[in-house]
Amino acid sequence: MQNIANRGLLRLLKFFCALFLLGNFFLFPGCKDHENKKEAAADHLVDPEINAAFADTETQATTPEEFNANSFDFPVGKPDAKGYYNAQAFGKNNHLGDDWNAVTGGNSDLGHPIYAIANGKVAVADDLEGGWGKVVRIVHTLPDGEEIESIYAHCDSIMVLEGDRVRKGFQIGTIGTAGGQYLAHLHLEIRDSIHMPIGGGYSEVQEGYLDPSLFIKNNRSIH
């Protein structure tokens, strides 16, 4: 009796599984992951206008001009890094970025907002673990068409998803410790060679890397 009942239950379960899979196939033919991601991205964005503005331009080959990066701000204490200082500047100890800390010291900046330094598109929003922790990489198209990349590392939390378009000053995450490895700070890199491997954060070879603070200072407004 027990066996027969189980078999019947199993058959019923199989039937519903098949129905579920078939339903999914017809609802999202061939792009279920993409649909899921879009939905998640929509939920994730604080400013729904951003996704709305790009809903119908997403498939175009070129970046919409209004999302070009025509000005840059600092990633903390926006727009001028008020209340923060650069604890390890680009080039010091072969550092390939800047380390932003609150002037209040220690872990007082843990959980503080990190902002996109310019309009752009999120290329990576992922926990890379190791010495990097949670990392956001944003590609910016300059008015002359050149593309550069900004990288925000050791985040406590990430508030964007890959493919999201962000405006300058949009909060993309919070300052963290890379899982307790460091005192909370933001490691910021700017690269003029985009999509390179994440690297090691330090190197004598600076090819492909820009001095982030110098670049931001020189590009507060691009004409």
Nearer to Zn ion, 25 or 202 (CB): 202
Nearer to Zn ion, 98 or 164 (CB): 98
Q: Which residues, numbered 158-217, are part of the site for Zn ion (CB under 5 A)?
A: 187
Nearer to Zn ion, 101 or 119 (CB): 101
CB-neighbour burial class of residue 201 (10 A; exposed 0-12, middle 13-18, buried 19+) = middle
Name every residue whose Cβ is closer than 8 Å to that of residue 139 and which is 6 or more positions away in sequence. 120, 121, 123, 147, 148, 149, 194, 195
x/- mask, Zn ion, residues 57-96, rule CB under 5 A, reads ----------------------------------------
Nearer to Zn ion, 99 or 164 (CB): 99
Number of Cβ within a 10 Å radius of residue 123: 16
At its nearest, how many Å lie between Zn ion and the CB of residue 187?
3
Phi, psi angles (nearest 5°) of residue 49: -60, -30
Phi, psi angles (nearest 5°) of residue 25: -60, -40
Nearer to Zn ion, 9 or 103 (CB): 103
Q: Which stretch binds Zn ion (CB under 5 A): 7-15, 38-46, 98-106, 191-199?
A: 98-106
| DSSP bridge pairs for 187 | 99, 153
At its nearest, how many Å lie between Zn ion and the CB of residue 185?
7
At its nearest, how many Å lie between Zn ion and the CB of residue 166?
22
From the list 89, 93, 133, the residue with the least C-alpha distance to 114 is: 133
From the list 139, 151, 162, the residue with the least C-alpha distance to 97 is: 151
Q: Which stretch binds Zn ion (CB under 5 A): 13-21, 97-105, 106-114, 173-181?
A: 97-105
Q: Which of 73, 99, 149, 189 binds Zn ion (CB under 5 A)?
A: 99
From the list 94, 76, 62, 43, the residue with the least C-alpha distance to 174 is: 76
At its nearest, how many Å lie between Zn ion and the CB of residue 164?
24
At its nearest, how many Å lie between Zn ion and the CB of residue 140?
20
Nearer to Zn ion, 97 or 176 (CB): 97
Q: Which residue is nearest to Zn ion (CB)?
A: 187
Name every residue whose Cβ is closer than 8 Å to that of residue 187 and which is 6 or more positions away in sequence. 97, 98, 99, 151, 152, 153, 154, 201
Which spans of this chain sit near Zn ion (rule: CB under 5 A)?
97, 99, 187
